[in-house]
Amino acid sequence: MTEPPSHIPGKASRRAPAPQPPEPGLNIVSTPIGNLRDITLRALDALAGADRILAEDTRVARKLMDAYGISGKVLPYHDHNGAKVRPEILEALEAGERIVLVSDAGTPLISDPGYKLVREAVEAGHPVRALPGASALLTGLAAAGLPSDAFFFSGFLPPRTGTRKNRLKEMASIPGTLVFYESGLRLAASLADISSVLGEREAVVARELTKKFEEFRRGPVADLATFYAENGAPRGEITLLIGPGDGAESASIDIDAELRALIPGLGVKGAAAKIADATGLNKRELYARAQMIKDGKA
């Protein structure tokens, strides 16, 4: 259970906290994922007090700032210009500037640019802090009705069926809810591949979170695949959640015993591949284990 923040005023003090301009360093600021009111007071303070604001799309950032009457220096930072502008940003941090990084929606770095900048800032010894806020990942998970005590987020699945199925096989034995972002155009195909690889699981398609046409569609993954194949690609931003499997297959298998039984007939490579297909376990790790068994080291 999370303890309540110790700085929240009690009954004796109902005065709102004073504005908190950002401190020098790199400030990672979360922005709304749809509803413009899903912005924290601390985020607004940071935007208003920043020396420069780095945005994936400056037009999107300006729309948010205009809604709250905030002006400031907004500069583009994205995958295409990151390598070129990072040295300049690091110089500004060295000079003591207060820099804010935002993405188009939600928490920066979560399937958005920013990791390389944060890493280089940390390596250079500059302060880096994150201001929490909206996230489609957590918003979808909270309302999905699927287990939330353990989950695995994997961003966008690969666009091609073959590589997508291979990625899903790697996640088959994860004991938690799987969360992805997906485009409407690929949703039906992705659901069909998920059903093929992971079997019958509960699934939730969370669409347009926090917006006017927010929708949660729940059901067995195969049924959802059929629905979207028949009704066409849905519009808007999509968070796709897949419930955990029962774990019975992989949990009931004694991997070493299975490898020992299969190696004489299939060889090391074939035995590892067969168990990987059956359980979703990592093929390279199984191969290494099989080789140890064959060599008498396990």
Is the pLDDT assigned to residue 252 strictly greater than 70?
Answer: no
Q: What is the pTM of this model?
A: 0.77
Q: Which of 113-117, 167-171, 179-183, 287-291 has the lowest mean pLDDT?
A: 287-291
* Chain mean pLDDT for the chain: 91
**pLDDT grade for 19, boundaries at 50, 70 and 90:** confident
- 3-state DSSP call for residue 126? coil
The pLDDT score that the predictor gives to residue 114 is 96
The dihedral formed by the CA atoms of 15, 21, 23 and 26, expressed in degrees to the nearest 10: 130
CA distance 245 to 249: 9
State the alpha helices, DSSP H only, in the chain: 41-49, 58-67, 82-94, 115-123, 136-144, 161-171, 184-198, 221-231, 248-251, 255-279, 283-294
The pLDDT score that the predictor gives to residue 298 is 73
The pLDDT score that the predictor gives to residue 277 is 78
State pLDDT tens for residues 57-87: 999 999 999 999 999 999 999 999 999 999 9
Is the pLDDT assigned to residue 264 strictly greater than 90?
Answer: yes
**pLDDT grade for 21, boundaries at 50, 70 and 90:** confident
Sort 94 into a burial class: Cβ within 10 Å, 0-12 / 13-18 / 19+. exposed
